[in-house]
Amino acid sequence: MVSVDEELTRLRKENELLRAQLALYQQSQQSSVGAATVAAPAAATKVLEKPALVKQAAVDGGIIWPKPGEAFWERSPRTSPMPLQGGAADAPPVERDANPMHIIHITAEMAPIAKVGGLGDVVTGLAKAALARGHFVTVMLPFYECLPKDQIEGLKHECDIEVPKGYRWDGEIRVGPLKTSVYWGRVQGCPVYLVKPADDTNCNIFRGGRIYGGSYNEMEAYLYFCRACLEYLSVSQQNPHVLQLHDWHAAAASMLYWDVYNPTGVNRTRLMLTIHNLDNTGETRQDEFFFTGVPGENFATIDKALDERTIGHNPERLNLMKGGIVYCNAITTVSPTYATEVLNGGAAGWLRSTFARPELRSKFHGILNGIDCEEWNPATDALLPANFDADRPAGKALCKEFLQKGLGLEVDPRKPLVAVVSRLVPQKGIHLIKAALLRTVEKGGQFVLLGSGHSDPAFRQLADGQFKDHPNCRLKIMYSERLAHMIYAAADVVVVPSMFEPCGLTQMIALRYGAVPLVRRTGGLADTVFDVDGPAAGPAQPRNGFVFDGSDDGALHGALDRALTLYNTQPARWAALQQDNMRLDVSWGKSAKSYVDVYRSISA
């Protein structure tokens, strides 16, 4: 827990930083008088109340346009002019809850320092939203070697502990203590514990240049991580109301908790498993589970964590997600429609028999993700060449021009810019992404892809072959958080044609950045995007995009053609749609409240 003194020191530092930023801003405003930069109001105090975003957007002063071939997305975030504060796109005021709870998340990802996909965004967004509601929230994260330490405020070594850990010796697995270091810091204001072996010269765990697929065995590393988190909480005598475990990486903590740390159920801590994706469920051999220091045999029955698919195999295996489902007091997943697809459709896959058990169904909840509206705010986003919001949308055109120039596309404000930002894996509808590309270019639009994953090669081939130096198509096969921000800001349409999608964040980011989402009707996409030509719905279902069913190219073409026609023939209606979308509430507000309701429902 953070002491009052530490909190005061942090607030003082924050204050100093803000003062320094304000001084810099005032200087930049004075030096810009008469120069071809942003026009500024006279008094800085007035600027803070009513910022100069419109002027920034109206003249393109202050924008340093990209040079041909420049990796412009690698530039440092803009510090001057100061991003716009306030405005219509701000998140609604946060409600504070009475009787704050103590929540600890155990997770493999946390944006922005350890983000691979939506899991990282969700952990940070939800943690910040619950903090803002007045709860005590901490995140426990592996201290990956590749973490950018400069983005962790106040990083300090907290303590070393001994964690029981299985290791191979002479063909057998034995258990011994592994000295483990726990660090503490803050990421975007959210307290974080970072956990790793103390001596990483003899141990590969969490080493390497990537979050996943570093130079370590993932199963061994996350099993150890689960045990280490529980051991630390026990040693430091922390007794949170809820441990929220994210996906299979953290699920074993629920099995260990009831087996080792709270076998009689007397401690108050209760457990929640949040399923972000059932595509990966964490299969492990029983002897491998012994890396936790606890024999896997303890869990090897159908009613516990035995993977039914392996019955009769030698050896039979365990499944950590199943263990989490059985051993947690509540299970959540990230949208109501995905929850229904899991319970009643095919989304549960082989876990269907587990989800058929009434006692497990009744503790399963679908809560729609939000997005972190501080991180994703076009009015203040320092990664954008120009800012904008629903009431002052002019900056969006500058963002489009900037991206067209930067990527070497034909610079034409009238061409619809269609974008995909995605992991490139079968789940994301690879063939439909390709269909969207071909159709957009055929119809005279522009297409930009930012993506990476197993299905890279097909897109690399297109990028280096048919679409090399194409004036209307750019395929960036890479991961770049900064370029992603610029693409959302520049895009007219964002396509999300997933085969299945537990929630999906890109369509919500698109709404916030004034790009119209075009999605396949599945999971969370069906809960957040409603067709402009669809039946009139209530305020919870604003007609905000284009939706298609089916999974063939023709289905996608139908929706894409409608979008391009609307863009080309009814610019005023298109602009109104973009602006209305930017006003929609896609924040964590409502969803954080739903999570708090579930936390309370399981609290002892």
Binding interface with ligand ADP (CB under 6 A): 117-119, 121, 421-423, 450-452, 479-481, 484, 503-506
Contacts of 110 (CB under 8 A, 6+ apart): 120, 123, 124, 139, 141, 187, 192
Minimum distance between the CB of residue 371 and ligand ADP, rounded to whole angstroms? 8
Q: Which is nearer to ligand ADP, 123 or 505 (CB)?
A: 505
Minimum distance between the CB of residue 104 and ligand ADP, rounded to whole angstroms? 22
Q: Which is nearer to ligand ADP, 452 or 551 (CB)?
A: 452
Residue 576 tokens read as 């109104």
Minimum distance between the CB of residue 485 and ligand ADP, rounded to whole angstroms? 8
Q: Which is nearer to ligand ADP, 305 or 419 (CB)?
A: 419
Q: Which is nearer to ligand ADP, 288 or 375 (CB)?
A: 375
Q: Which is nearer to ligand ADP, 148 or 312 (CB)?
A: 148
Minimum distance between the CB of residue 476 and ligand ADP, rounded to whole angstroms? 8
According to DSSP, residue 257 is labeled I
| Cβ(150)–Cβ(174) below 8 Å | no
Residue 498 CA to residue 422 CA, distance in Å, equals 10
| Cβ(317)–Cβ(299) below 8 Å | no
Q: Which is nearer to ligand ADP, 180 or 506 (CB)?
A: 506
Minimum distance between the CB of residue 396 and ligand ADP, rounded to whole angstroms? 18
Residue 324 CA to residue 320 CA, distance in Å, equals 6
| Cβ(187)–Cβ(113) below 8 Å | yes
Closest CA to 524 of 370, 344, 324, 409: 370
Q: Which is nearer to ligand ADP, 478 or 604 (CB)?
A: 478
The pairing of strands 473-477 and 446-452 is parallel
Q: Which is nearer to ligand ADP, 223 or 503 (CB)?
A: 503
Question: What does the H/E/C string look like for 542-600?
Answer: CCCEEEECCCCHHHHHHHHHHHHHHHHHCHHHHHHHHHHHHHCCCCCHHHHHHHHHHHH
Question: Tokens 């919500």 label which residue?
Answer: 508
- Crossing angle for the helix pair 553-569 and 571-583, to the nearest 10 degrees: 110
Alpha carbon 12 to its chain centroid, in Å, reads: 30
Residue 563 tokens read as 């979008």
Minimum distance between the CB of residue 478 and ligand ADP, rounded to whole angstroms? 6
Q: Which is nearer to ligand ADP, 348 or 421 (CB)?
A: 421
Closest CA to 363 of 338, 334, 332, 341: 332
Q: Which is nearer to ligand ADP, 277 or 387 (CB)?
A: 277
Q: Which is nearer to ligand ADP, 361 or 423 (CB)?
A: 423
| Cβ(224)–Cβ(205) below 8 Å | yes
Minimum distance between the CB of residue 244 and ligand ADP, rounded to whole angstroms? 17
Minimum distance between the CB of residue 70 and ligand ADP, rounded to whole angstroms? 18
How long a stretch of residues is the chain? 604
Minimum distance between the CB of residue 362 and ligand ADP, rounded to whole angstroms? 27
Instruction: Mark out the alpha helices in 451-552 (DSSP H runs).
Output: 456-464, 481-490, 506-512, 523-528
Contacts of 339 (CB under 8 A, 6+ apart): 333, 364, 365, 366
Residue 197 CA to residue 231 CA, distance in Å, equals 13
Question: Tokens 């995140």 label which residue?
Answer: 139
Minimum distance between the CB of residue 512 and ligand ADP, rounded to whole angstroms? 11
> Closest residue to ligand ADP, Cβ-based?
118
Sign of the torsion formed by the C-alpha atoms of 592, 598, 602 and 603: positive
Q: Which is nearer to ligand ADP, 395 or 504 (CB)?
A: 504
Q: Which is nearer to ligand ADP, 477 or 564 (CB)?
A: 477
Minimum distance between the CB of residue 437 and ligand ADP, rounded to whole angstroms? 15
Minimum distance between the CB of residue 335 and ligand ADP, rounded to whole angstroms? 10
Minimum distance between the CB of residue 76 and ligand ADP, rounded to whole angstroms? 18
Residue 230 CA to residue 546 CA, distance in Å, equals 45
| Cβ(305)–Cβ(326) below 8 Å | yes
Residue 401 tokens read as 């021009």
